[in-house]
Each structure stands twice: as structure tokens, then as C-alpha cells.
A and B are shown apart, each in its own frame.
Chain A
Amino acid sequence: MNTQPFPYLTTLVLLPAGAAVVIAALPSNAKRLIQWLGVLASVAVLALAVTVAVEFRVGYAAYQMISNHSWISTYGISWDLGIDGISLFLVLLVAVVFPLALSGAQVKENSKSYVAWMLLLEAACLGSFLSLDLLLFFLFFELTLVPTYFIIGRWGHERRSYAAVKFFIYTFAGSAFLLVGIVTLVFIHQHQTGVLTFNLTQLISTRLDLGTQILLFLAFTSAFAVKAPVFPLHTWSPDAYREAPAGGSVVLAAIMAKLGTYGIIRFDLNLFPRASVDLAPLLLTLAVIGIIYGAIVAAAQSDLKRLVAYSSLASLGFIVLGTFAFSSEGLAGGVIQMVNHGLITAALFLLIGMIYERRGTWSIPKLGGLQKPAPVLAAVFTVVMLASIGLPGLAGFVGEFLILTGTFITHRWWAVVATSGVIFAALYLLWAYQRAFHGRPNAENSKVADLSWKEGLVMLPLVVLIVFIGIYPKPVLDRITPSVDRLIAQVDREAHTKPPQFAIPAKQLPKPTDPTISTSSIRSIPSSRQGAFNGGSR
């Protein structure tokens, strides 16, 4: 009787939300049941997300599994969800990180509300990554704020109220610009076509003069740049990351930061291609400053959580860099780096949470010599740290390399400056590691317990994924690339640059016998690369 395909995406959003409601209705003394139920629900979401990934059509660039239902038709608002190569792995990231955050970093008091808020947050994050309707996206985007506010404010550390309010107001201010931007765009579109709609694919055809595009771009971007965060709008993040409970930090840094960069890719690049290209130097510059500045400030931190916050500022800088490079490599690198950074920071914050549970501090000077009593913890920390440094063979390198290669092709000097970031990352992370793990442990530190099997089980999936993507990123890239290529081609077309051409004169195309380069792949070099290939004093 049901001839419709199964509404995967709708279920994906509603499942954690429903679980949150159920848990909220349970008596609060059923602590263990609630913990288990929370983990179980998030694992169910993971199973569903994996199914989505399996059903996902590889090599298909446009949105898939669309579930489109008219909602408030008077105002052109619809329940419109869809997934493509850009959002697929972010959805998977959400689905992987939440069960680990729920099982790896639990709270002691009021666990019922905590688990309920976390699941609601998961629903909101999934909704944000899946929405193809601007207002629906905005609702989910805003909905993420509330659980986060409560998670920081109620289960956080000493200065939680300050951090929670700062986070809330800062991001809320950004969102106000986004709402104004959305409404303006929709009205312009209605004025031109007579159709009132919030649908992304329809709004793309809105004709905007350059000035309007730039204003709207800035309105949208201010919300996304705060969320990411992009330098200099980052000062809420060290406070929020530090004061949040471990699970909150994981979600904030690993997932919610990506809402910002995802928003830029999905909405800025699609809706305002011309402005995106014109303002690229500004964003590239901010990204490069973020990479260098984040690293320098991270080096001066004596608190592990704040250190990771500034290190994230640098990593997010790389993602923004790749996005505004406008080359396939750069954008594909940016997308995969969102996933990698999510996995890496999630692992880092979980590990830092485990250290806090043992020692009651994140202060680096108070730690030291932890490798002696806790060699497995130290080994896992080392692997994750090396991934963050960008060691080839681990996930971080794949993204960084693609981003820098892609940026070098189109914006050479930004890439050159950003490359120095790889030196700084090694410097501050290895130094922090040395102070926390090397040396002789004092009496307190020498009693620290090693990872329990349960904690090991929480870390295992993250480490496996970090290694897997580092060694064999092909399955991931194969799914990302078609959507990325399509978006780049669209931006190129819309930005009225020259149509795509052969970057390399046909007669110089490599011989088919060359195993390392295929002629078919050359064709997809976007026109924006022309300058890089033909320039110089050849």
C-alpha cells in the first residue's frame, strides 16, 4: 500500500527528537535506563544513517532521497529534506559522534534532562544538515542553540553561566542577520517571480545585482562565521568549549562548528556565487589569519580545552580556505576536512574529559608524566594528536593536502602562508603533549588509571575512522566529489567567469599509458585554474 520510498531523512530527524520526548517523560530516578535509552536511540540513528550511506547513489551530484512536503503553504515554507555528497558525511559524523559523546562522557546530576537535550540537539543538527528549505534550516539552526545553552549552563564548569550567556547572545546576534537575509532574499524572489518560497533550489534562480548579493552574503556569512568560528568572531568559543561538560565540548567543536562552514558552502556559494567569488580574498585572508593566529595563541595556552579551542580555530581556517579557493581539490578537501576535524576534535575532547575525570583538571602544568601510568591513554592521544598535526596516513592530512593543493592552484600566496601552519601545529601540540604526558609523574599523576575497556571501546571507532580515512579516503572522496564538482561548475558559471576549458592544451595531454593520470580526469579542471596553469613565464 505504501508505494512511496521509505522516508529515511525525515525518520533520521524525528527519531532522536522522539527519543528526547520519550526520555523527558520518564521518571528522573531511572538513571541507568535513561543512559541506556539515550545511547540506544543514538545508535539507532547511526544504524539509519549507515543505511542512508549504503543507499546513497555514488557518482550522483544532485540531492537524493528528497522528502518534500508542503508545510505552511501560505508562506511557501516546506518540509524539504535532501542529501548530497556534501552533507552525507556530515550526517554520518553526527550519527557517529552522538552515541560516543553520550556513552563516553556522562553527567552525574540530572542525567535525564541532559540526555533529552543531547538527543534534541542531535535532531537539530541532523535537520540543519538535511534542510533544503531556508526557513526550515533556520529553525533547526536556531534550535541547536537552546540545548547547547542549557548543556553549558547547567552541566558546565565554574564559569558556566558567563560562557553560556556569551555563547547564546553571540550566536543569536549572528542568527539575526541570517534571518533578515533570508527574508530579504525571499521577498526579492517573490517580487521577481510572484512565487513565495523558501526553497533553496528555487531561490538559486533569483537575479541579484552585485551590491545586493554582497549585502546578503555578508548577512548570511556573519551567522555562519560566528558559528564556525572564523577569526575574529571566535572569542566565545574558548569560553564555551572550556566551560561545557565533556559531551557538550565534543558536540560544540566536532559538529556545531561544521554548521557554520556547511552553511557557507550550502547557502553562500549556491545563492551568492558572484559575491562569494568577489569576496573570496577577504575570507581567504581571514582564514589564513585564523590558521596562523589560532596556532600562535594555542601555543600560549596552559589549559588543554582552551588549547583545542584555538587549534580548532586554525583547523576551521583550513576549511574556509579550501571553500573559497574555488577549485575541486580545495572544496572537496574542505568537505572531507570537516569530517576529519569532527572526528579528531571529538576524540580529543573525549580524551581530555577522561583525563579530567581522573585528575580533576585540564591545566597542563598540573599534569605531567601521564604516559607512565596510562600508556594506552597516551597512545590513543598520540594517534589523535598526530592526525590533528596532519601526519600522512591519518585523516587530517588528506583534507589539509587537498585544501592546500586546491588553494595553491587558484590563490598561490595564500596557500604558501597557510602551509606554515603545518609547522606551528606540530609545535604547540607536541609541546603540550610533552608537558602533559612526558617526564616523570608526580605523586598524584602517577596514580592515574589507564583507559578502561569501556573507554577504549568508545575511542576505538574514532581511531579506526581516523586511520581508515587517512589510508583509504577513496570511498569518501568518490561520494563527495560529484557534488563538489557540480557546485564549483555552478559557481564558475554564475560568477560569469570564462566557461570551462581544457586547462592543458589537448596536444599535451598525457598518454593513456601513463598509469598515474587519466585523461578523463583532466577535463574536470575548472576554468578558475586557468591563471595558474597559463601564468608564469613559461
Chain B
Amino acid sequence: MLHIAYLIPLLPLAGFLFLVAFGHRLGKPKAGWIATTAVALSFVTTAIVFAGLFLRQPSDRSFTQTLFTWMPVGPLHVNFTVLIDPLSITMAAFVTGVSTLIHMYSIWYMDHDEQFSKFFIYLNLFVFSMLVLVLSGNLLFTFLGWEGVGLCSYLLIAFWFDRDTAATAGKKAFVFNRIGDSGFLLAMFLIFSKVGTLSYHGIFARLHRFSPEEITAIVLLLFLGAVGKSAQIPLFTWLPDAMEGPTPVSALIHAATMVTAGVYLMARVNPLLHLSPDAGEVIAIIGVVTAFVAATIACTQNDIKKVLAYSTVSQLGYMFLAIGTGAYVAAIFLMIAHAFFKALLFLSAGSVIHAVEDDQDMKQMGGLRRFLPVTYITFIVAWLSIAGVPPFSGFWAKGDILVNAFSRYPGLWVIGVVTAALTAYYMARQFFLVFTGSSRWESAHPAGFEPHEGGWIMRFPLVVLAVLAGFGGFVNLPFHPQWNFLGRFLAPVFQGTIYHQSVGVGGEWGLALTDVVMAAVGIGIAWRIWYPQWSHPSLEPAFLQRSWMVDDLYDAVIGRPGAALASFAAVVVDNKIIDGAVVGVGKFSELTGLVLRKLQTGFVRNYALGITIGLVLLLAWMASRVG
């Protein structure tokens, strides 16, 4: 059953190629259905492989399949190898599953778009790249997928390219990711120069060849890549801007899958991480600080998607806190739960945006509860889940991370718990602004306008995701050693490198209670403030609304000086100094003037012709000798 693994990435690729050739002719909605089918088949394949892997003994659940050799030069021998193990198949399962639902939803959402088939071409290419990233058996092919998803992200953020903001956001995303990618590249160079291979198994078998400093350098360089891809401090500001893309893209790429690639990468190289506690500490600190900073910003945003974007940054921060703690299962657990509830939040937001005719300002919404009954329910499920209310999935996943953080870095745990309260607050604020209170959208629309939801194509994905976001937490329950199914399934990948928390069952109950109290406090405060009244300018300081002025800082420190440097280099250095030196040293200008004057009498031309004729005659003579 495992040998069909190569079909998992191949099916979306086939869908992509087919649509490139015929997508335009098929038009809507056929192109969308073909794309959805390709991904759905990939999901079915993944499920079969998953089952096959599950039936094996836990120690035997790793399997590789070599497809072809990419770059053979000397010792560099990179193969495209599919690596199937509990970690990669778990990722593949939720990636293909969530992708299928979002593809389906997109058929409804993009219905009126003139670039309909192009959208699905990009979407299928994205799923293919993401699966290459996840299933690759070596770093270089992971990087191929890594860059591929980055490309699709760029193309889809700038999808409505006639908007300047969209085009700029796309470029920003690509460049910020590239900054991270340079770290990824350097890590690969360093690894290859030491062990002569880039395959994960090969690297892990030769860990003794690295010095501790090199391990730390490699982990931090890879983490730089993860910081770019997963939008952590200091490279996080591209993700909120990425909300310029169509909402299904925000759900799929900028919430559920691509942005978690950084977390996946760090989990994948856990044997390296295990040998560098220093790097782990850096990752945990950056993670938790990002979680906190992004949450404070999310509290003040008015754009429905921007709140969710900063929320994503914040949740990714939690995942890195878990990675830095060594709690990989907790990181993967939140990644899966987050994929469900954040995709659901975005798709629900898409439904809302659609209902009020493309307005994203929550201050212009309100009272939508009555008009969007399904969206209303699904949003509540997702909201309570991310806020950490039991028994929804977010409670279990976030709780798992905080328990581990508490026992290893108590200081970071405090920040994590405060952030949990902020999370409950900003999500409740969003809920109240959108669904309750007065209908502030009425003024902007003609009388008799009534917001409405889409048909079953749009509702089905919402309902499925709501079920998953609601009950997904049961795959990994604490309190009893037999209940953590996910943990036991993933154990072979993290064997020996995972951090074992030791707070006891009583401690777990105590911490769980703390989480619940925090969620209740956040929701309670938001309810007191935002339920009765939608405008509180004093609670939305400009400093937070402008993301702690980070973009302004970058512009002042890097952007403007960089532009000045570039024009200085072009105008002064290149034209005046370097070209000037040529002119000066060689008396070039005089010579040129002389020659130009002579040119009119045909001097240079005759000279050049002379060379040619001479050379051609020589060639002809040669030819006669050769013949």
C-alpha cells in the first residue's frame, strides 16, 4: 500500500499541468472541480498510505522511495526521495484534507472572477509544492517545495495585480521569504561541507561530524528560514499584508499550511535541535515574544482579515515556543488544530466579506447573526476553539504547549498565558463587532439590501471544518497515557529528542484550570467592552494599529537608505567614478571624440572592415586547406 506514495504530490501536479493546458477552455466551474478532484484524490491516496503505515509496527514506520537523481556532481548526489514516516504522513493528511475543502469553497468564492481557471492553476501548483516540501527525504527537495510554496504565495497575494497594494504585498512576501531562504541555503552549504549529503537520514547518521557550534549555527540558519516562512519576529510584517490575496488563499496558504512549514522544518530536524539547547532557547524566546506582540496588535485591528492574520502570527509563535521547548508533538498538535480552526475562521470571514459585498472593515459590520446562520455557528466554534475554551481543539493543543513551557521555561510560560488571555479578548472583540450589535453596514447599501450566504459548496467545507475544529482535540488528550494517540503515533520520529514534561496529573489540572480562567477573563472583558458599544478609539492606539511601527522602522533604517545607496551607486559610483576612471585613464573621451570625427570619414569603419576581410580571407584559405 505504501508504494503509491509518489502519487500524493503527483496528482496535484497533474491537475496543474492539465489546467495549464486546458483550464482556460474549460472555464468555470469545471476547472475548479478538476482542481478539487486532483487534490481530493491526493487526499485519498494519503489516507491509504496512512493506513498502510499505521498497520506496520511502530519501529518500522519509515519508508523511502527514490524517484530520480537531480544534481549529480562529484559527491553531491541529490535524489528526489519521498520519505514517508508518521510526521510527514500526518502533515500530508491534513494538508491534502484542508486543501480539498478550501478548493471546493473557492469554486463558490471565485465564481465571479475573470481569472477563475488561473486561480486553480496556482492553487494546484501550491498543493504540489507543499507536498514536495513535506514528503521530501532531503533538505534540497524540501527547499524546492519551500520556494515553490513561496512562489505560489507571491502569485496568489498579487492575484488581483491591478491593485497596487496587492502587487506590493506580493513582492514584500517574496522578498521577506528570500531573506529567510538565504539562511536555509547557508545551512545546506554548511551541512554538505561537513557530511557530504543532504538527506535527512544521512545527516542524522553523521551528527558526530559536527562541532556543537556548527550544530547551533545550522539550527539557527534553518530557523532564519523558518522565521521568514512562518512570519516570526523580525520578519513577520509580510503576513498581514498578504491578506490582499483572495480569502481562500489566506485560509489555505497564509493560515493552515504554508506558514506552518517553518514549524514542520524545525520538527523535521529535531535530532539537530536536540544537540543545541542554546538554539532551542532562542527559538522559544522568539516564538513567545512573537506570540505576545502579534496578539497585542490583533487587539486593535479593524480589518476582519488583519485580525486573523496577526492571530496566525501569534499562534505560530506558540508553535515555535513548543519547538524551542522540545515539545514537538505539542507543536504539531497545535499546527493541526490551528489548521482546522484558522481555516474555518478565514472561510467564515470570507462568507462575511461576501455577504457585505467586499467590505472588510469590522466597524462597518455588526448584527450579521440573523443573516448568516451557518457562518454564525461555525464562527463560534472556531472562536471558542482558538480562545482555548474546553472541549474545543484549541484548548487541548495550546494547553499541551503551555504545560511543557511551564516546566522548562516558567518565565516564558507567563508570557504565553497572558497571550492566551489576549487571544480570547481579540477574538471575542471580533465576534461581537461582526455578528452582534447594530447593523452598521446598512448605510453603505441601498435599502432592502440583505446579506446572504452561499449554497452547499460553501457551507459543506465550513461544517466539516467546524466538526474538526470542535472535536479535533481528542486525537491527543492529556491525563491518561493511553489517550495521546497523536503523541504515540509521532513518537518514532522524535524518539529520544522529545522533552518530557513532569508536572504530574495534579499540575496538569491546575494549569488547565489557569488556561480556562485566562480564556474566560479575555472573553469577559471583551464582552463588557465590545458587546454594548462598537467604538472605543482609546483602546486602539496608533502604535499598536501600526504593528509597533515595525514597517516604519524598516523603511527608515533599510528602505530609504537602501534606495539612496542604489541611486548613489548608479549615478555617482558607476557613471562618474568607474566609467569616469576609464575615460580619464585611457583619455577615453578624447579618443572617442577623435574616433567619432574619424568615423564620419569612415576610418573606423574601414579599419573594422579591413579586419573582417583579412580574417575572412584567412578563414577561406583555411577552409581550402581543410577540405
Interface residues of A (CB under 8 A from B): 7, 10, 14, 17, 21, 67, 69, 71, 79, 120, 123, 139, 142-143, 145-147, 149-150, 161-162, 165-166, 168-170, 173, 232, 234-235, 293, 296-297, 299-301, 327-329, 332-333, 369, 371-372, 386, 391-393, 397-398, 401-402, 404-405, 408-409, 412, 415-416, 419-420, 422-423, 426-427, 430-431, 434, 437-440, 472-474, 477-478, 481, 484-485, 503-504, 508, 510, 514-518, 521-522, 524-525, 532-533, 536-538
A358–B348 alpha-carbon span in the complex (Å): 45
A332–B76 alpha-carbon span in the complex (Å): 11
Q: Which residue of A lies closest to B173 (CB)?
A: A430
Cβ of B189 and Cβ of A369 under 8 Å apart? no
- B260 interface residue (CB < 8 Å to A): no
A401–B138 alpha-carbon span in the complex (Å): 15
A139–B617 alpha-carbon span in the complex (Å): 12
Secondary structure type dominating chain A contacts:
helix
Cβ of B569 and Cβ of A296 under 8 Å apart? yes
Interface centre among B68, B162, B164, B201 (most CB of A within 10 A): B162
A121–B314 alpha-carbon span in the complex (Å): 60
Q: Which residue of A lies closest to B185 (CB)?
A: A419
Q: Which residue of B lies closest to A382 (CB)?
A: B155
Interfacial residues of chain B within 602-627, with CB under 8 A of chain A in the complex: 604, 608-609, 611-612, 615-616, 618-619, 622-623, 625-626
- B186 interface residue (CB < 8 Å to A): yes
- B535 interface residue (CB < 8 Å to A): no
A127 to chain B, nearest CB (A): 8
Q: Which of A79, A430, A439, A532 meets B175, CB within 8 Å?
A: A430
Q: Which of A235, A300, A398, A472 meets B567, CB within 8 Å?
A: A300
Interfacial residues of chain B within 380-394, with CB under 8 A of chain A in the complex: none
A21–B213 alpha-carbon span in the complex (Å): 66
- B66 interface residue (CB < 8 Å to A): yes
Cβ of A408 and Cβ of B75 under 8 Å apart? no
Cβ of A300 and Cβ of B199 under 8 Å apart? no
- B168 interface residue (CB < 8 Å to A): yes
Q: Which of B138, B198, B210, B566 meets A296, CB within 8 Å?
A: B566
Set of chain B residues within 8 Å of A21, measured between Cβ atoms: 616
Cβ of A532 and Cβ of B193 under 8 Å apart? yes
A250–B595 alpha-carbon span in the complex (Å): 26
Interfacial residues of chain B within 186-215, with CB under 8 A of chain A in the complex: 186, 188-190, 192-194, 196-199, 201-202, 205-206, 209-211, 213-214
B10 to chain A, nearest CB (A): 14
10 nearest CB pairs, A to B? A438-B167, A516-B199, A300-B570, A408-B189, A300-B566, A235-B579, A328-B74, A392-B144, A438-B161, A299-B566
Q: Which of B64, B210, B213, B592 meets A169, CB within 8 Å?
A: B592
A484–B579 alpha-carbon span in the complex (Å): 35
A71–B198 alpha-carbon span in the complex (Å): 52
- B275 interface residue (CB < 8 Å to A): no
Set of chain A residues within 8 Å of B181, measured between Cβ atoms: 422-423
Cβ of B193 and Cβ of A409 under 8 Å apart? yes
A354–B487 alpha-carbon span in the complex (Å): 58
Q: Which of A165, A437, A477 meets B161, CB within 8 Å?
A: A437
Cβ of B161 and Cβ of A521 under 8 Å apart? no
A434–B169 alpha-carbon span in the complex (Å): 11
A386–B129 alpha-carbon span in the complex (Å): 16
Set of chain A residues within 8 Å of B140, measured between Cβ atoms: 392, 401
Interface size on B, residues (CB 8 A): 93
Cβ of A477 and Cβ of B574 under 8 Å apart? no
- B344 interface residue (CB < 8 Å to A): no
Cβ of B612 and Cβ of A146 under 8 Å apart? yes
Interfacial residues of chain B within 267-320, with CB under 8 A of chain A in the complex: none
- B78 interface residue (CB < 8 Å to A): yes
Cβ of A161 and Cβ of B175 under 8 Å apart? no
Cβ of B569 and Cβ of A79 under 8 Å apart? no
Other than the given A409-B189, A430-B175, 14 more pairs (CB < 8 A) read A142-B615, A146-B608, A165-B595, A235-B578, A299-B566, A392-B148, A402-B71, A405-B188, A408-B189, A430-B170, A516-B138, A516-B202, A518-B77, A536-B211
A71–B586 alpha-carbon span in the complex (Å): 37
The 8 A CB mask of B63-75 against A (1 = contact, 0 = none) is 0101011111111
Q: Which of B66, B199, B588, B622 meets A79, CB within 8 Å?
A: B622
6 A-B interface contacts by CB (under 8 A) = A71-B625, A139-B618, A419-B182, A422-B178, A473-B70, A516-B79
Cβ of A300 and Cβ of B571 under 8 Å apart? yes
B235 to chain A, nearest CB (A): 12
A485–B140 alpha-carbon span in the complex (Å): 23
A401–B202 alpha-carbon span in the complex (Å): 20
Interface residues of B (CB under 8 A from A): 64, 66, 68-79, 81, 137-138, 140, 143-144, 147-148, 151, 154, 158, 161-162, 164, 167-168, 170-171, 174-175, 178-179, 181-182, 185-186, 188-190, 192-194, 196-199, 201-202, 205-206, 209-211, 213-214, 562-563, 565-567, 569-571, 573-574, 578-579, 581-582, 586, 588, 591-592, 595-596, 599, 604, 608-609, 611-612, 615-616, 618-619, 622-623, 625-626
Cβ of A391 and Cβ of B151 under 8 Å apart? yes
Cβ of B164 and Cβ of A524 under 8 Å apart? no
Beyond A79-B626, A386-B151, whether A402 also contacts B161 by CB under 8 A is: no
Beyond A437-B161, A521-B75, A533-B193, whether A431 also contacts B178 by CB under 8 A is: no
Q: Which of A71, A170, A422, A514 meets B202, CB within 8 Å?
A: A514
Set of chain A residues within 8 Å of B171, measured between Cβ atoms: 430-431, 434
Q: Which of A142, A332, A503 meets B73, CB within 8 Å?
A: A332
A122 to chain B, nearest CB (A): 13
Cβ of A415 and Cβ of B189 under 8 Å apart? yes
Q: Which of B78, B190, B574 meets A235, CB within 8 Å?
A: B574
A256 to chain B, nearest CB (A): 16
Set of chain A residues within 8 Å of B66, measured between Cβ atoms: 515
Cβ of B569 and Cβ of A293 under 8 Å apart? yes
Q: Which of A120, A423, A431, A485 meets B74, CB within 8 Å?
A: A485
Q: Which residue of B lies closest to A536 (CB)?
A: B211
Cβ of B69 and Cβ of A405 under 8 Å apart? no
Q: Which of B167, B186, B609 meets A434, CB within 8 Å?
A: B167
B121 to chain A, nearest CB (A): 10
A70–B425 alpha-carbon span in the complex (Å): 88
Set of chain B residues within 8 Å of A427, measured between Cβ atoms: 175, 178
Set of chain A residues within 8 Å of B626, measured between Cβ atoms: 7, 10, 14, 67, 69, 79
Set of chain B residues within 8 Å of A409, measured between Cβ atoms: 189, 192-193
Cβ of A515 and Cβ of B574 under 8 Å apart? no
Cβ of A515 and Cβ of B162 under 8 Å apart? no
Set of chain B residues within 8 Å of A510, measured between Cβ atoms: 196-197, 202, 205-206
Set of chain B residues within 8 Å of A14, measured between Cβ atoms: 619, 623, 626
A493 to chain B, nearest CB (A): 17
A431–B158 alpha-carbon span in the complex (Å): 13
A471 to chain B, nearest CB (A): 8
Cβ of B68 and Cβ of A516 under 8 Å apart? no
Cβ of B68 and Cβ of A472 under 8 Å apart? yes
Q: Which of A142, A430, A481 meets B174, CB within 8 Å?
A: A430
Q: Which residue of B lies closest to A415 (CB)?
A: B189
Set of chain B residues within 8 Å of A235, measured between Cβ atoms: 574, 578-579, 582
Beyond A426-B174, A426-B175, whether A537 also contacts B211 by CB under 8 A is: yes
Q: Which residue of B lies closest to A516 (CB)?
A: B199
A398–B70 alpha-carbon span in the complex (Å): 9
Cβ of B174 and Cβ of A477 under 8 Å apart? no
A298 to chain B, nearest CB (A): 8
Beyond A474-B70, A521-B75, whether A165 also contacts B202 by CB under 8 A is: no
B470 to chain A, nearest CB (A): 39
Q: Which of B81, B138, B144, B164 meets A438, CB within 8 Å?
A: B164
Cβ of A169 and Cβ of B75 under 8 Å apart? no
Q: Which residue of B lies closest to A143 (CB)?
A: B615
Cβ of B211 and Cβ of A538 under 8 Å apart? yes
Q: Which residue of A lies closest to B611 (CB)?
A: A146
A120–B70 alpha-carbon span in the complex (Å): 38
A388 to chain B, nearest CB (A): 13
Beyond A419-B186, A438-B167, A439-B162, whether A477 also contacts B73 by CB under 8 A is: yes
